[in-house]
Every structure is written in structure tokens, then in C-alpha cells.
Amino acid sequence: MTTDNIVENLDVRVPDLWKGAHRDDRARPRSRQRLLGPSSIGLCRRRAAYEVHGTWPTDLADNMHAAILGTWLHEGILRVLREQYGAWTELELTDGMILGHADAYWAPGHLHHQNVRHRPPGAQAVDMGVVEDVKTKSTRALDVVVRQGPSQAEWFQVHLYAHLLRTGGLREHSTLPTSEPLPVDVVRLRYVGREYGQVVVHQRAYDEDVTKQALAWAEDVLASPEPEAMPRDLDGPGLSIICDNCPFKTTCWNIDQLSDDRAPQTILAEDAPAITEALRAYADAAEVESTAKKRKAKARKMLDAADAGTYGAFKLSWSGGNPRPPEPDPEAMIRILEGLSVDIPMRPGGRTSRTINVSRIPETS
């Protein structure tokens, strides 16, 4: 929705906030960089290869309001960490192949006090280096973090910031020493909910093995001759929110060549071996799903009388159970109309949804 219209006949146009916000977002240096960024490492190798090879985006959406709101919130969070807690923020880091911007860094006390002109009221002396990445999330996405913890890609990202700091990757800086190793002992991920401001923090000791895995992933992408040589690591549009919002979605999944409303994933099963593998995956998943549903149904019956509360590593809560208001009874309406000899209004039926049936063929001896 735009706001480029005349309000109350004053003949004064209102600047369109979101048009300007999208132009501003695309002008950011990070939107134009061609080196591989730590935030892209661990997500999808083909998407990262499109970025490295300078492929022009085919899907620049103009409705990414939540992402832009997250950017604005992110900037405010970093200002607080900088001004209230003495963090160095937005540190530009590179080794010539990877280019990233660490959100926040706290150096050990001796280095910190050498370079900070004043001590913010909330600053704390620490004996180890800490690098932090801040992520804003929707309430639903934040709930996933609470239940499952950070993703591998998120740990990759913050470990790579630590690696670049530890190996002298800091570019020109007004107070911190550049081109020489800076200590990092702890990596931290801070998640902030965009709707209600909830905060979830995960931190761990720096792990060299995680960094090696991230670097191997990046080297694989950087060595690719073309984006199409890299696999699609995610499930595709409609199944992955990352794919839904990918700037290379149309190119990657040949969406402009789809016909008959077929799913983009059909390009993954274009020959008999691929179809056979998809059938095997479907049958295997259906069998696991059936067993899991039965176990879940039994457990639900067992918990029907349990009180809300904490039980070991689990928290039980209840919702719903409220009386419903009366609602129309379609069958009774039809009986009344038929009794009055009134034609029942009809609408086009359309088509039924296609139902798949996959069964295993018994093996013959």
C-alpha cells in the first residue's frame, strides 16, 4: 500500500515511506557487495554462488516491510550496546574472500581501556574477548529459536566474525588496532522479537572446529565455476521462508517456465531415477509420520488430566476450552429450503485437489 495520494484535498503529497525505505535498503553497501558474507554461509550454496558470481537479482520484492523494520530496530540495538555497554559496533572484517560486519565486540579489559575514551555507565570489565551478532525475529521465528536453539548457519556466522578478528581481519578503525589479531574467546547470538521485544541469548566458547566447517563451506562456493554447479540446500518456494524471500528465486527454480500451476520442486524430479527417489522419500516419511501420529495421539490422551506446570525439562500449558457461540447449521438450512420448494443457491464447484497415493511394490524373490 502506498501513501502517494492527496489527503483531505490539501493538494499536498505525502512521501511514500516504504518506497523510500526500499530504495534506501538497496543502496546499502551490504546490498551491493560481491564478496561472500558470513550471513550467507551455511544457508544455501546456490544462493551464495549467485552472490559471488554477481548474478542480477530477479526477485527484488517491494513488500519486505518486516525485514526493513528489523534493520531499523537492529541499528537502535547496536547504538545501545555501543553507548551504554562500551561495545565496538559494525566492525568491517575481511580476509580478501569473505567480507562481513561484526555487530558488537568487547575486548579484554587491558585492550578495552587503552582505546575507549570514556567508560559508559553499563560497561563491564571482562577478561576475555566477546563477539556478538544481533538478530531480530518475528514471534513465531523466535519461538523456533527457543525450542530448537540457533541454526548451524547462525553459529557459522558469528564464528566467522570471531575468526576474522582473531586473524587480523579488521579494516581501518579509529581506536582498535588493525591488521593484527584481536582476542575472541566467546561468541554470542542475541535474538530480539520485533513485536514485543523479547530477548533470547545463546553464547558459547569459540570453537575452532565450527570455524573450519564454515570455511570449508565457503571455499566450496568460492571455487564454483557457476551458480548452477552448486546444489540447492533448501526445500524451495512454499516450503522454505528463505527461498520465498530469496532475490534469485525465479532464476534458481525456473519459476517463469512453470505451467499448469505445478510446484517449483517438480524440476527436481524430471527423470525416472529422480521420481523413484522422491517416491522412496515420500513413502519413508509417510511411515514415520503415521507412527509418530499414533504416539502423539496416545501421549495427548495421557496428558488430558495433567495440570499446567513444569515437569522435568518440559513445560505444560493449556489454551482453549472456551464455549463457542452458536453458528449456522447448513444442513438445517437446506432442509428448510427444500420444504419451501425453493431452489438452493449453488456456486461453481471447481476442481477437487489432487490426492497422491504411494505404495511399495512387494519385492519378488
Looking at the structure, tell me whether residues 62 and 115 fall in a common domain: yes
pLDDT value of residue 38: 92
Looking at the structure, tell me whether residues 238 and 276 fall in a common domain: no
Looking at the structure, tell me whether residues 103 and 40 fall in a common domain: yes
Q: What are the C-alpha distances in Å from 195 to residues 100, 139, 171, 291? A: 27, 7, 35, 37
Kind of pairing between the strands at 88-94 and 199-205: unpaired
With a cut of 50, list the residues of the chain below it in pLDDT: 1-2, 4, 6, 30-32, 115, 117-118
pLDDT value of residue 115: 47
Residue 338 lies in a domain: no
Looking at the structure, tell me whether residues 127 and 198 fall in a common domain: yes
**Which residues make Cβ contacts (< 8 Å) with residue 198, sequence separation at least 6?**
139, 142, 192
Residue 340 lies in a domain: no
The enclosing domain of 232 has a CATH number of 3.90.320.10
Looking at the structure, tell me whether residues 132 and 276 fall in a common domain: no
Residue 167 lies in a domain: yes
Q: Give the three cell numbers for residue 33.
A: 557487495
Residue 116 lies in a domain: yes
pLDDT value of residue 1: 46
Residue 157 lies in a domain: yes
Q: Give the three cell numbers for residue 213.
A: 566447517
Helix pair 208-222, 45-52: axis angle to 10 deg: 60
Question: Which phi and psi (to 5°) does residue 360 adopt?
Answer: -85, 140
Looking at the structure, tell me whether residues 165 and 121 fall in a common domain: yes
Looking at the structure, tell me whether residues 240 and 285 fall in a common domain: no
User: Residue 159: in which H helix or E strand, if any?
Assistant: helix 152-166
Looking at the structure, tell me whether residues 276 and 164 fall in a common domain: no
pLDDT value of residue 120: 61
Residue 45 lies in a domain: yes
pLDDT value of residue 161: 97
Closest C-alpha among 247, 249, 291, 245 to residue 267: 249
Residue 259 lies in a domain: no
Residue 145 lies in a domain: yes
| Spatial separation of the C-alpha atoms in residues 186 and 162, rounded to whole Å | 8
pLDDT value of residue 62: 59
Number of domain units in the chain: 2
pLDDT value of residue 363: 79
Q: Give the three cell numbers for residue 317.
A: 500449558
What domain range includes position 276? Answer: 272-306
Radius of gyration of the chain (CA): 27
Looking at the structure, tell me whether residues 138 and 281 fall in a common domain: no
Looking at the structure, tell me whether residues 146 and 294 fall in a common domain: no
Looking at the structure, tell me whether residues 47 and 117 fall in a common domain: yes
Looking at the structure, tell me whether residues 157 and 285 fall in a common domain: no
